[in-house]
Chains A and B, each alone.
Chain A
C-alpha cells in the first residue's frame, strides 16, 4: 500500500514538473545562461533615451521607437519597415519606416474621435532589421492595442543580439558547472553553520538567512562607514558575527533551553527573530542593492572556454579552505569530537564529562561566523541588500536536507548538488525559475530518501 501511494505520488509530481518545464520552455524558449552565480539581483537594463514625439491635436498617431539594447545607452535602429493594420478586418491603415532616431509615426486617417475604440495591430518587418539583430521579445513582431485615449499611441520594440552563432552546449555546461561550484562554495558555508547548530541543539533556525545578511552588512559598515579596506572589513565582519552568535545563544537560546521550551516553539521564535532582524536591516541599510567599495567590477579572464573573475576564484578558494579547516577541526580536535558527541547524544555526552552548554556556545559562535563569512563572500561576488540571506535561506535548507540534516559532510555535498543543479537547470528551464527547480528536487528527494544522501537511515517520522 505504502509503496503504491509513493509511486503514484511520484508519478504525479513527475507529470507536474514535466508540464511546468514544458510550458515554460515553450513560452520562454531556452534562455541563455547567465554568467553570474545565482544572480539574485536583475542586471540593470541599459538606458534607452526615449525620443519625445509631439502629439497633434485631433489626430491619433501610432508612434514608436526601435532601439538596440546591446549598447549602453541604446542606439536607435533606422530603416525598419512598420505597418499598421486594423485588427478586426486586417486592412492596412498605414506604413512607415523608422528614421535616424529610430522613431516612426503613423497618423491614423480621420478625426481622433472616430478612431477611439478601434483596435490596431502594429507589425514589424523582421527582414528589414539590421543584420545580426532580432527583437528581444519575438512576440513583439505583432503588437495589438485598443485605442482608448486621444493622442499618441506608443509602441516600443527593444532589439537585441541575434542568438546565432550559439555557444556549443558542452561549453555552456562547463561554464554553468563553474558558476555553480562558485555559488556552492558560499552556500556550503551557510549550510554547514545551519547543520552544526541543528545537530547540537535540534533547532531549525529560520533566522539563519539573517545571520548570512549580518556578515554582509557588518562588512559594509566597516567598509563604507569606517573606511577600512574591504578584506579587513570582511575579517572583522566574521569576528563580529561570531560574537553575535555567542550573544544570541547566551541571551536568547540558552535561557529558552533552560526553561524547557519545545523545539517547535523555538522554531516559531526564530521566525519572529527573522522578521525582526530583517526589518532592522532594512531600517538601517535601506532597500537598495549595495556593493563594497573595492572589487565591485573586475574584468573576467578566460581559462579555455570558461570566463571567471579573479575575485570569484579568490572567494571560492577562501571558502574551500575554511570548509576544509572546519571539517578537519570537527574530525580531529577535542572540541570537534565533543561537538559530534553532543550531536549524537547530549545526555550521554554530558554523562561522560563534556560540558554540553559550552560546546553549544562554541557551535553558535562557529555557525554564525560561517554564516557571516558566507554573507560577506556573497556580497563580494554579486552585491547585497537586506534580503540577501532570506532569499537563499530555502536553498540552504534544501542543501542541508539533501545532504542529510545534522551531518557535516552532508551539508557540503548537498550544497554542491544544489548549487550545480541550479545553474545546470537553466539549460532547460528559464533562469528565473532555477530556484524553484532546486526546491522541487528537494520535495522529490523527501519522497524517496528523507534522511538525505549521507544521513543514516533512521525513523524521521
Chain B
C-alpha cells in the first residue's frame, strides 16, 4: 500500500473544492450557531435555493449567469425570512426541526419529476456554468509541492478560498463590532439582552439572513464543482458542516476553515485507506470481514463516532474556547 500517495491525494482533497463547499457552509453556521446560538439544521436548504436559483435561471429561463447569482442570493434571503418568522421566537429545538423540514421540502420539490421542466428532477441541472469558466485564467494543471489540481478545479479554488478569506474577515470585523457583541449576548442570555432594550428578534433575523447568504455561496460553489442535484443538498451536508464547525471550534473566526481542511483530509484519507486495504488479490483486510463496497462506509462510521466523542469530550473543538461556547443555545 502506497501511504505517501494516499497522503498526497488526501491533501489535494483537503484543499480542493469539496473542502471549500463545506467550509463556506460551516462559516454560515458559525454565525447562526457559534455566535447567535441558533440551531439551524437546514443549511443544505440555503445551499439548495442558491444553487438551484442560479442553475434554473440560466438553464431553464435562459438569463445570464450573473443575474442568476443575484437571484440565488435573493432567494436565500427570502428563505431566511420565511423560516425566521415562525420560529425565531420559539425554543431552539423547534427551529432545528422546522429548518430541517424546510430543507427537505426544498429537496423534494427540486427533485420532483413533475417539475422536471424547471429543475431537472433527480438528474439536476448541468452545463450552466460557461460564463464562470470563460473567465478561467489558468490554461493547464496547477499545483506545487507534489500536489496538483485540474485547471477548472484550481479556478474554483481560487475564487472559493478568496470567498472564504473574505467572509472570515467580514465575520472577524462584524463580531468585534457592537452588533457582534449583541449577538454573543443573545447567545449567552437572551433575556438579559432584551432587558437592555435590544430587539432580540431583529438581531436573530439578521444573523439568520447573513449566515444563510454565506451558506448560499456554498451552494454556488457546489453547483460549479459538481452540477446541482438533489443528492448534493441532502440533510447529511448540514450535519457534515456541523461536524466541521465543531471540529475546528465554534465561535472562532478560523474554526470552520481549520475544521474543513482537517475534516476533508481525514475523510478522504480514510476513504483511500480502506479502499486500498480491501482491493487487490490479497487485500490487507480479508474480504470476509469487509468488502470493497463496505469499505466506502467506514468513513461515515468514523464520522458518526467522531461527532459524538467531540461533542461529549471537547465541545469547543480544536481551537475553540470553552467559555465562549454556550452550547445550550436557544
Contacts and interface: CB of A to CB of B under 8 A. Distances in A.
Contact of A264 (B114, B298, B327): B327
A282 B118 CA distance: 33
Chain B at the A interface: SS class: helix
B109 A436 contact: yes
A436 B114 CA distance: 14
Given A23-B115, A432-B108, A439-B104, A264 B305 contact: no
Contacts of A279: 297, 300-301, 303-304
Contacts of B81: 9
B28 to A, nearest CB: 17
A432 B108 CA distance: 8
A318 interface: no
A27 B117 contact: yes
A446 B113 contact: no
A262 B327 contact: yes
For A261, A272, A433, the residue with the greatest tally of chain B CB atoms inside 10 Å of its CB is A272
B239 interface: yes
A432 B110 CA distance: 11
Nearest to A282: B297
A460 B90 contact: yes
Interface string A431-451: 011011001101100110010
Interface string B82-106: 1001110111111011101110110
A443 B101 contact: yes
B120 to A, nearest CB: 13
Nearest to A286: B293
Interface in B232-251: 236, 239, 242-243, 246
A20 interface: yes
Given A27-B115, A271-B239, A279-B300, A394 B94 contact: no
B108 A436 contact: yes
Contact of B311 (A5, A268, A286, A450): A268
Contact of B86 (A204, A269, A439, A443): A443
A250 interface: no
Contacts, number: 155
Chain A at the B interface: SS class: helix
A111 B108 CA distance: 46
B104 to A, nearest CB: 6
Interface residues of B, number: 55
A269 B101 contact: no
A276 B304 contact: yes
Contacts of A13: 82
Nearest to A31: B114
B112 A204 contact: no
Interface string A40-76: 0000000000000000000000000000000000000
A19 to B, nearest CB: 11
Interface in A245-292: 256, 261-265, 267-269, 271-280, 282-283, 286
Contacts of B85: 5-6, 9, 12, 447
Contacts of A212: none
Contacts of A233: none
Nearest to A445: B86
Nearest to B329: A264
B306 interface: yes
A271 B297 contact: no
A349 interface: no
A149 interface: no
Contacts of A277: 304
A262 B328 contact: yes
11 contacts: A5-B85, A24-B112, A268-B311, A269-B311, A279-B304, A282-B297, A436-B105, A436-B108, A439-B102, A460-B94, A461-B94
Interface of B: 39, 81-82, 85-87, 89-94, 96-98, 100-102, 104-105, 108-109, 112-118, 236, 239, 242-243, 246, 293-294, 297-298, 300-301, 303-312, 315, 327-330
Given A279-B303, A440-B105, A447-B85, 14 more contacts: A12-B82, A23-B115, A27-B116, A264-B39, A265-B312, A269-B311, A271-B242, A272-B303, A275-B300, A275-B303, A397-B101, A432-B108, A436-B108, A439-B104
